[in-house]
Amino acid sequence: MGKRIVVKIGSQVLCGADGSLNRDVLSNLVSQLAGLHAAGWQVLLVSSGAVAAGMGLMTEQLRRISDPVARKQVLAATGQVRLMETYRELFAQQALTVAQVLATKSDFQTRRHYLNMRGCIEALLTAGIVPVVNENDVVSVTELMFTDNDELAGLMAGMVNAELLCLLSTVPGVYDGDPQNATTQCIKRWDDERYQVEDIVSRGTSTLGRGGMNSKLAIARKVARLGTEVVIADGTDPQIMDKILGENQAGTRFPVIGGASPAKRWLASADDHATGSVTINQGAEDALLDRNRMTSLLPVGVDAVDGHFDRGDVIRILSSSGRILGCGQAHYDSEEASRLMGQRGQKPLIHYDYLYLS
């Protein structure tokens, strides 16, 4: 298996001042990705821009749609065709084939859906085809929406166990202060011990896309903990991929600080789809958070069971104070979990192999 890279291109990178697709920028980025492919990388592209592409096709028919949600859905449906046709044409010029993958949060909700999508994308990458992934804005509303495509890109990086995730925006990286201040610098290498997310964001980094820099930082730190290096960089730089992979290492880099099994990477993507929760006592919390032990959650450590869930569902794990500690795949349904709560000598409610601590 070749090295894998996930590249996310934001709408601000892809679009011109009038909101329409910037073909020159797209062409340059596709050329850079083709260069990565030729160098042995398996490339997965997460691309925004469907709604923007639809704006470029605005007709009298679309102006008749007054409902803002329906209008966005129509723009996405018409624009996605144009976006993919543009990618198909540009990648074909580089002798590469692309495939369209549209995703919603529900695709990550169950293990079966997740494995089905992963199987398809694995096959595409192995065949040398470039998957172009975007949120399915036609059906993604409210609870089905990703925070933004940064979140989707992070999930994809975990799904394919990528070596590198590149989040391309319109800034050089994460600044250590207000970009308008002459003393402010771009952080080259993120360090959780040195930098505090709240301080960095409040000092005026930038607002980018739907989620902004706060979202990018959260995704980057989470993905790095799961075993994939992350770079936030300027996608409008005509040589950005060479710089990211070269000695200069442009952008802000988030080094790998952990790792996770395929099952735990799925759980990390499904942590907000929990169908119920359990509250655990202090002894169980201490055992789970002990980095020197591989501990499953046993019924004896459970103080309360909330919500209805079936065996195999993802459930949240809460501390006695209500803090979310993580999630896991339940080996009992909620009725049996309630019956066995507090009892010793029982099989784990959540086995360590299917436990993700956030």
pLDDT in tens, 227-256: 999 999 999 999 999 999 987 778 999 999
Residue 200's pLDDT band (cuts 50, 70, 90): low
User: Can you give the pLDDT at residue 206?
Assistant: 42
The rounded distance, in Å, linking the Cα atoms of 134 and 49 is 9
CATH number of 274-357: 2.30.130.10
User: Helix, strand or coil for residue 229?
Assistant: strand
Q: Which residues pair with 355 in a beta bridge?
A: 328
Q: What is the pLDDT of residue 291?
A: 82
Give residue for tokens 């990458």: 125
Mean pLDDT of 197-216: 58
Bigger pLDDT: 201 or 282? 282
57 pLDDT above the threshold of 90: no
Statement: residue 72 has pLDDT above 90: no
Q: Phi first, then psi: what are they for 329, rounded to 5°?
A: -90, 120
pTM: 0.86
Are the beta carbons of 312 and 275 closer than 8 angstroms? no
Q: How confident is the model at residue 323 (pLDDT cuts 50, 70, 90)?
A: very high
Give the pair of three-digit tokens for residue 99: 């495939």
- What is the pLDDT of the chain when averaged over all its residues? 87
Q: Where in the chain is the domain with CATH 2.30.130.10?
A: 274-357
Cα dist. 233→64, 108, 143, 201 in Å? 39, 27, 29, 16
Question: Residues spanned by CATH 3.40.1160.10 within the chain?
Answer: 3-259
Structure tokens at 333: 């349904």
Distance of alpha carbon 130 from alpha carbon 92, whole angstroms: 11
Rounded Cα gap, residues 323 and 133, in angstroms? 33
Class of domain 3-259: alpha beta
In this structure, the number of other CB atoms found within 10 A of the CB of residue 56 comes to: 18
Other CB atoms closer than 10 Å to residue 74's CB: what's the count? 18
Q: How many residues does the chain have?
A: 358
User: For residue 145, what are its two tokens?
Assistant: 């929406």
Using the CB atoms, write b or e for 12-38: b if 16+ within 10 Å.
Answer: bbbbeeeebbbeebbebbbebbbebbe
Q: For residue 211, what pLDDT is reported?
A: 46
**Percent with pLDDT over 90 in the chain:** 56
Q: What is the pLDDT of residue 185?
A: 84
Question: What is the C-alpha separation between 173 and 297, in angstroms, rounded?
Answer: 40
Calculate mean pLDDT across residues 2-31.
88
SS3 100: strand
d(CA 109, CA 256): 26
In this predicted structure, which of 99-108, 163-172, 175-184 has the lowest mean pLDDT? 175-184
